[in-house]
Every structure is written in structure tokens, then in C-alpha cells.
């Protein structure tokens, strides 16, 4: 099976107006997806049905209409959920017994990017083989069903309410959030109308920020990738804790009452620690190549197995299913609790953290006190298409030299991004000054090689 042409580690993504994020290509994608995902329903008397949800980008209207047209031409009915977090689409696809779910979102990217993610009928992201099949079908001529077999469309008017109730159901019945003041930063994204109500209905005093999307302000100086915004509001409101989501609601970053920021590694460790204490933990924890080495060491001290997957929550999920485990995630804030949901969910992950804090009577700082993260420096080096750093002797030599310098004390990782035209250079070790210097030196060598 060759490399995918359009699909990256998290669906299809790019700049709006440039291939593949154009109206005509999106219509072809909708048609191809309809052909592939609904194939097992071809003999049924009723139409196959697909749910479409989106984040708050202005381009969502355009892409939604194009996908809808392609799906209808393939004879597939469309249910429109409107703005809905990515994990909300996964849940509704499964709950409504649909053939597939489609999310129109570019996650944490700026508003002028957009993308498409797919979920199967089981609420899980599509396997690579299915994405290959969809790509192959896009290259074939687009056809149209006879008028009597065209797909129809309707809106799911109670989509947000259904998802709110689902999120609340993952929080213990014998606990509540009364007495907690929580700031929630919705990144002006898809969770703007659901995150606050979930926390409020569980008893918290909720301060909602970045929850007024206008189509252009998604992720703009706010959300999980800009935690300084959340920190500012937590301190200004004397809140107990802060929760930041990204544009499509599947990432989580948190802030404590003192303004300290907690990333996905720390929050994942906190959840694992709580479950082990309660005797509810089985198996191990799945991380990625980017998971902090300090996290791995802390889990080892507790006797909790740990394994690394390739970067991307889809690969974390694959590793979890392969090992039969239920808990995994990334330091970027994607946290997967398979005993609660089929995919990563920022709101549900926050509820798992809050469950741990309420159960133990601890603050974020107290719960993470025994976890010491290593300094980890990440440098993004812009890359031209087709550049392969592995073919440059100067880069290979410096990489080997850097690895020898950190042997037994840290790690080096060079990884092409699956969502952006950059090469991610990560250096991790015990001393921040040392790893920063090594990372900058390596990034500079790669940048020079790419310019040749």
C-alpha cells in the first residue's frame, strides 16, 4: 500500500481555496466517501446516512454544501449537526446508527485553513486502508444516482443537547463540581455552546471565555495552543482551575489557581494515577514519540506499563486496541479514555481530571507533584515538498552526534508534520540550556540543507 496522496495523520487539511480544500474537490470527496463508506448498505431499501458536523470557521458553510452535494449524488442521506466538536460527531454517528460521520475542521490551525476528518459507524477514525480506497475513488469519474435514489438532507436539531448529556454521563453520579470556580476557554471553536453547559450542569461556577465565534476568530490568541489566554482569565477571576480546548474540541490543556499550565502528559499521568489508586486501572498507558521521558519514568515507578506510538491520536488509538488498553494520549492535549469514548475528547478528558481531583481532594499541583518532566525543546523548520533530511550527510552526522551527547540522558526526534509543511525537531534532556542549544544547532543544519 503506497503513501496517501491527500490524507495526513488527521484527515485532509490545507488552505481554503487551494487543493484539496476547494469546492469542486470537496464535492468529489463527498461522492467518493459516499461510494466507499455506504457500500455495505447498497442493497438496502433505505438510503445510507452520514452525519456532518463542523467547527466555527466561515469556510465551513462552503465545504458543508459541497460535501452534501457529493454525498447526495452518491445516494447517501445527510444529517447536518451544525457546529459540533469532533468527538461529538463521533458519538452521534454511533448513537444514531449511521454509516459514517464527517467533521469539517482544521483543529488548532488558523481560520483560513480547513480540513475533513472521517469516523466509521463505530465512532472510530477510519483505517488507512479505507482512506486509500476513498482517495482511489476520487480519481475516478463522478457519477450521479437516478433522481429517485438521490440522497436527502435534514438537520439534527438536538445535536448539542444529546452530546452535553453524553459528556455528563462520563462523570461519576456520586460526585459534583459544586464549590469549584472553573474558567473554560473554548477557542471560539466548536465547543463554544457545549463545554460551559456541561460544567455548569454538574454544579460548577463557570466563567466562559473565547466562546463568541465569528467565523474568523477561531484559535486566535486563545484555546489549548495559547494557554496564556486561559492563565490570564484564571488569575483575573480567582478561579480554582482553568480548562482550554482547541478549535474542534478534542484537545485539553489545564491551568491551576496559581496560573501553572498542565499539558497532555501531566493530565494523562494524573488520570492513570487516580485509576490505579481506585483499583480501576488495567493494562498500560499509550503515548507517542513526543511523550516526555519524565512521564515514562513516573509511570514505571508506579509499575504501569508504557508504550509509544507514532505521533497522532489515530496511532495512539491503534496501539490501545492492539494492546487491549484503555488510556493513552499526547502531550499536545489529545487524551483518549476508551472506557468513556471511542476517540479523544477534550471535555470528557477534563471531566476525568476533575474526577481525580474531587476523589482525592487534591489540587492540580498536588496531584502532579511527583511527576518531573524533562525540558523538551521543539523547533519547527519550514520544509519544501519532497525534501528528505535523511539523504543529507551533514544532517545525519549532526543527528548522530547529538544522540551520542544525550545517550542515557535524553532523546532526539526528527518528524515531518502530518498537518503542516514543517519538520519538527525535538530535543529532550535533563538540562534546558543544553537541549535548547542542541535543538537550535540541529534545526539550523536542517534549514541550510533544505535551502540547497
Burial of 161 (0-12, 13-18, 19+ CB in 10 A): exposed
Helices (H), 78-143: 86-95, 128-138
Is 54 in contact with 64 (CB distance < 8 Å)? yes
- What's the gap between Cα 71 and its chain centre? 25
- What's the gap between Cα 379 and its chain centre? 20
- 165-252 shares the fold of 12-157: yes
Distance CA 311, CA 415 (A): 9
Distance CA 4, CA 136 (A): 10
Query: β-pairing, 205-209 with 241-245?
Result: unpaired
Distance CA 32, CA 38 (A): 10
pLDDT tens-digit map of 384-411? 777 788 888 888 899 999 999 988 788 8
pLDDT tens-digit map of 416-436? 876 678 889 999 998 999 999
Distance CA 214, CA 93 (A): 27
Above 50 in pLDDT, residue 45?
Answer: no
pLDDT tens-digit map of 85-141? 999 999 999 999 999 999 999 999 999 999 999 999 999 988 788 888 999 999 999
pLDDT band at 39 (very low <50, low <70, confident <90, very high): low
Above 50 in pLDDT, residue 364?
Answer: yes
Of 6-10, 123-127, 315-319, give the range with the top mean pLDDT. 315-319
Distance CA 208, CA 230 (A): 10
Mean pLDDT within 8-19: 90
What rounded mean pLDDT belongs to the chain? 93
Q: Give the pLDDT score at 409.
A: 83
- Collapsing DSSP to helix, strand or coil, 376 comes out as strand
Is 107 a catalytic site residue? yes
pLDDT band at 262 (very low <50, low <70, confident <90, very high): very high
pLDDT tens-digit map of 201-222? 999 999 999 999 999 999 999 9
Q: Give the pLDDT score at 383.
A: 82
**What is the dotted CATH code of the domain comprising 262-345+354-367?**
3.40.120.10
Distance CA 304, CA 434 (A): 30
Distance CA 306, CA 300 (A): 8
Which of the 8 DSSP states describes residue 334?
B
Above 60 in pLDDT, residue 44?
Answer: no
Fold classified for 12-157: Alpha-D-Glucose-1,6-Bisphosphate; Chain A, domain 3 (3.40.120)
pLDDT tens-digit map of 165-213? 999 999 999 999 999 999 999 999 999 999 999 999 999 999 999 999 9
Q: Which CATH architecture has domain 376-451?
A: 2-Layer Sandwich (3.30)
Q: Give the pLDDT score at 42.
A: 46
- Collapsing DSSP to helix, strand or coil, 289 comes out as coil
Q: Which residue ranges make up each domain of the chain? A: 12-157, 165-252, 262-345+354-367, 376-451
Q: Give the pLDDT score at 181.
A: 98
Ranges assigned E (strand) in 93-215: 100-104, 113-120, 153-155, 181-185, 205-209
Closest by CA position to 423, among listed 386, 387, 381: 381
- C-alpha dist (Å) from residue 77 to 36, 92, 303: 14, 15, 49
0.85 exceeded by the pTM? yes
Fold classified for 165-252: Alpha-D-Glucose-1,6-Bisphosphate; Chain A, domain 3 (3.40.120)
- Collapsing DSSP to helix, strand or coil, 19 comes out as coil
Identify the active-site residue in 59, 99, 105, 107. Answer: 107
Q: In what order do the strands lie in the sheet with 376-382?
A: 376-382, 422-429, 410-416
Above 70 in pLDDT, residue 449?
Answer: yes
Q: Give the pLDDT score at 43.
A: 46
pLDDT band at 73 (very low <50, low <70, confident <90, very high): very high
Amino acid at each position: 500500500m503506497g503513501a496517501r496522496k491527500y490524507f495526513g495523520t488527521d484527515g485532509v487539511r490545507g488552505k481554503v481555496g487551494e487543493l484539496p480544500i476547494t469546492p469542486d474537490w470537496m464535492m468529489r470527496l463527498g461522492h467518493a466517501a459516499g461510494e466507499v463508506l455506504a457500500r455495505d448498505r447498497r442493497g438496502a431499501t433505505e438510503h445510507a446516512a452520514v452525519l456532518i458536523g463542523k467547527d466555527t470557521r466561515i469556510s465551513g458553510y462552503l465545504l458543508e454544501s459541497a460535501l452534501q452535494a457529493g454525498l447526495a449524488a452518491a445516494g447517501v442521506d445527510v444529517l447536518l449537526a451544525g457546529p459540533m466538536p469532533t468527538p461529538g460527531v463521533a458519538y452521534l454517528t454511533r448513537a444514531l446508527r449511521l454509516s459514517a460521520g464527517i467533521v469539517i475542521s482544521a483543529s488548532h490551525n488558523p481560520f483560513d485553513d480547513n480540513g475533513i476528518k472521517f469516523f466509521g459507524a463505530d465512532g472510530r477514525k477510519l483505517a488507512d486502508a479505507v482512506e486509500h480506497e476513498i482517495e482511489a475513488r476520487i480519481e475516478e469519474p463522478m457519477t450521479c444516482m437516478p433522481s429517485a435514489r438521490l440522497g436527502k438532507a435534514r438537520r439534527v436539531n438536538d445535536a448539542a443537547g444529546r452530546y452535553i448529556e453524553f459528556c455528563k454521563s462520563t462523570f461519576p453520579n456520586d460526585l459534583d463540581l459544586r464549590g469549584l470556580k472553573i474558567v473554560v476557554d473554548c477557542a471560539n471553536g466548536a465547543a463554544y455552546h457545549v463545554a460551559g453547559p456541561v460544567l455548569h450542569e454538574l454544579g460548577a461556577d463557570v466563567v466562559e471565555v473565547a466562546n463568541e465565534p465569528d467565523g474568523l476568530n477561531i484559535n486566535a490568541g486563545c484555546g489549548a495552543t495559547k494557554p496564556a489566554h486561559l492563565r490570564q482569565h484564571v488569575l483575573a477571576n480567582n478561579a480554582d482551575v482553568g480548562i482550554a480546548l482547541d478549535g474542534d474540541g478534542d484537545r485539553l490543556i489545564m491551568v491551576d489557581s496559581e496560573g501553572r499550565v498542565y499539558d497532555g502528559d501531566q493530565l494523562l499521568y494524573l488520570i492513570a494515577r487516580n485509576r490505579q489508586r481506585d483499583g480501576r486501572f488495567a493494562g498500560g498507558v499509550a503515548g507517542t514519540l513526543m511523550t516526555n521521558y519524565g512521564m515514562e519514568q513516573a509511570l514505571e515507578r508506579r509499575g504501569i506499563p508504557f508504550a509509544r506510538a507514532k505521533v497522532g491520536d489515530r496511532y495512539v488509538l491503534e496501539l490501545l486496541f492492539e494492546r487491549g488498553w484503555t488510556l493513552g494520549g499526547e502531550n499536545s492535549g489529545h487524551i483518549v479514555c476508551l472506557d468513556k469514548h471511542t476517540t479523544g475528547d477534550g471535555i470528557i478528558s477534563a471531566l476525568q481530571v476533575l474526577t481525580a481531583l474531587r476523589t482525592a481532594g487534591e489540587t492540580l499541583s498536588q496531584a502532579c507533584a511527583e511527576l518531573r518532566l524533562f525540558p523538551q525543546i521543539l523547533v519547527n523548520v519550514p520544509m519544501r515538498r519532497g525534501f528528505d533530511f535523511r539523504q543529507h550527510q551533514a544532517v545525519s552526522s549532526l543527528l548522530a552526534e547529538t544522540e551520542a551527547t544525550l545517550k542515557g540522558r535524553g532523546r532526539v526526534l526528527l518528524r515531518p508534520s502530518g498537518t503542516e509543511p514543517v519538520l519538527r525537531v525535538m530535543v529532550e534532556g535533563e538540562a534546558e540550556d543544553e537541549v535548547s542549544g542542541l535543538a537550535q544547532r540541529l534545526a539550523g543544519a536542517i534549514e541550510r540543507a533544505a535551502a540547497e
